[in-house]
Amino acid sequence: MDNRTGLPVVGMVGGGQLARMTHQAAIALGQSLRVLSEKADDSAALVAADVRIGTHTDLAALREFAKGCDAVTFDHEHVPTAHIAALAAEGVKIYPGAEAIVFAQDKQRMRERLAELGAPIPRWRPVTDTSDISDFVAEHGLSWPVVAKAVRGGYDGRGVWMVGGAEAAADLVGTGTPLIVEERVPLRRELAALVARSPFGQVAAYPVVETVQQDGICVEVLAPAPGLSEALAVQAQQLAIDLANALGVVGLLAVELFETEAGIFVNELAMRPHNSGHWTIEGARTSQFEQHLRAVLDYPMGETSLAAPAVVMANVLGGQPGGISIDERLHHLFAEDPGARVHLYGKQVRPGRKIGHVTVCGDDMTTVRARAVRAARWLQEGS
């Protein structure tokens, strides 16, 4: 509690863009986000007033950081569960808890737990021996390629491999990276269902969105998912709500889904503000960042409804060096589309790195999408 304002202090471990945007939301709630940042020039550290430098694997640093926080939460999923459990045992309100976040850290345990819960998932198995992937293909009568995933640490397409045959499979297993293998689902598209859950147990669900991926990186998010049947939308929301409850998530839970002819399947889980929810800043009545704060503080959840009939978020990836400056690009974009909402993360440009996003709200999905994609391209390529 901040004695001066009488309002709570939330600490976020990690100084990336999620913490940066959470700070913006915290300001509106009368708060100032406390950030544990690795470096003083991390995205959130550049804009927050209460920044502590430290690393998320250092229990002493976490313990010091948590002092005076009403709740501690995360910008990423890399904090060791042992540290989270230790702090919780010492009375720190730290969310999501170790028993929940492990399912966002460890894909094998996530798949096992989802299977237990009867959630729809692709066929899969853990990989321990060189022949496991080939055996899996044979056993289920699958055709190559299949998908191998690192059990831990993958994101934005990293840690995921399309394995084309037995030899490639054996090579991959030979690297020693702990893996799971799963069937390649014949997907129509990808969806995401975002919910927030409070310690009290209230769950709020956002409209289901379509996520468009390129080389394993999310490039666009369409809200609401165009042409999604009401039945499937409700099923996806209910699935996310059930998972949040079953896993005991506190804060946001993003459920990445495959939509196929046979229905929906869970792909990944994330327990923090998520790229598939950036559209909510302008596009929903309550942004995911405020919602996450409300959840970890056990405030009642905010309204999740759309603020416009069609909302599209497009990620801005760092382009090749050279060309006109980012500031000039911004000039051009603002001249070109005065209604595009820009979010830049204060990051140095590196090819392929997410350096910002653009959101467009409007009435017609086709127009809105074209504008968002064009705006992101302006910032990315300067033309």
- Provide the terminal-to-terminal Cα distance of the chain, rounded to the nearest Å: 48
Neighbours of 83 (CB within 10 A): 20
Tokens of 1: 């509690």
Exposed, middle or buried: residue 143 (CB in 10 Å: 0-12, 13-18, 19+)? exposed
| Interface region with a second copy, contact rule CB under 8 A, candidates 135-143, 147-155, 250-258, 324-332 | 324-332
- Least distance from a second copy to the Cβ atom of residue 203, Å: 13
Near a second copy by CB under 8 A: residue from 65, 74, 345, 378: 345
| Interface region with a second copy, contact rule CB under 8 A, candidates 174-182, 205-213, 237-245, 298-306 | 298-306
Q: What whole-number distance in Å separates Cα of residue 229 and Cα of residue 236?
A: 11
Asked if 29 is part of the footprint of a second copy (rule: CB under 8 A), the reply reads yes
Near a second copy by CB under 8 A: residue from 325, 350, 364, 370: 325
One-letter identity of residue 365: M
Asked if 48 is part of the footprint of a second copy (rule: CB under 8 A), the reply reads yes
Contact 305, 366 (CB under 8 A): no
| Interface region with a second copy, contact rule CB under 8 A, candidates 40-48, 168-176, 206-214, 241-249 | 40-48
Asked if 302 is part of the footprint of a second copy (rule: CB under 8 A), the reply reads yes
Near a second copy by CB under 8 A: residue from 157, 201, 339, 352: 339
Please give the DSSP secondary-structure letter assigned to residue 291: H
Closer to a second copy by Cβ: residue 116 or 327: 327
Exposed, middle or buried: residue 80 (CB in 10 Å: 0-12, 13-18, 19+)? middle
The gap from C-alpha 19 to its chain's centroid, in whole angstroms, comes to 12
Q: Considering only residues 8-27, where is the footprint of a second copy by CB under 8 A?
A: 8, 20-21, 23-24, 26-27
Asked if 41 is part of the footprint of a second copy (rule: CB under 8 A), the reply reads yes
Contact 3, 25 (CB under 8 A): no
| Interface region with a second copy, contact rule CB under 8 A, candidates 74-82, 262-270, 282-290, 365-373 | 282-290
Closer to a second copy by Cβ: residue 117 or 308: 308
Closer to a second copy by Cβ: residue 231 or 335: 335
- Least distance from a second copy to the Cβ atom of residue 202, Å: 10
Closer to a second copy by Cβ: residue 17 or 134: 17
Contact 118, 112 (CB under 8 A): no
Near a second copy by CB under 8 A: residue from 237, 275, 286, 315: 286
- Least distance from a second copy to the Cβ atom of residue 164, Å: 41
Asked if 320 is part of the footprint of a second copy (rule: CB under 8 A), the reply reads no
Asked if 371 is part of the footprint of a second copy (rule: CB under 8 A), the reply reads no
Nearest CA among 326, 322, 320 for reference residue 353: 320
- Least distance from a second copy to the Cβ atom of residue 281, Å: 8
Asked if 342 is part of the footprint of a second copy (rule: CB under 8 A), the reply reads yes
Asked if 1 is part of the footprint of a second copy (rule: CB under 8 A), the reply reads yes
Identify the three-state secondary structure at position 340.
coil
What lies within 8 Å, CB to CB, of 28 at 6+ separation is 290
Q: Considering only residues 183-222, where is the footprint of a second copy by CB under 8 A?
A: 204
Contact 37, 53 (CB under 8 A): yes
Asked if 111 is part of the footprint of a second copy (rule: CB under 8 A), the reply reads no
Contact 222, 274 (CB under 8 A): no
- Least distance from a second copy to the Cβ atom of residue 87, Å: 23
- Give, for 113, the enclosing helix (H) or strand (E): helix 107-117
Q: What whole-number distance in Å separates Cα of residue 367 and Cα of residue 310?
A: 9
Neighbours of 231 (CB within 10 A): 8
What lies within 8 Å, CB to CB, of 146 at 6+ separation is 133, 136, 137, 162, 163, 169, 181, 182, 183, 184
Closer to a second copy by Cβ: residue 150 or 301: 301
Contacting positions for a second copy (CB under 8 A)? 1, 4-8, 20-21, 23-24, 26-32, 41, 45-49, 51, 204, 282, 285-286, 294, 299-303, 305, 307-308, 325-327, 330-331, 334-335, 338-339, 341-349, 356, 361
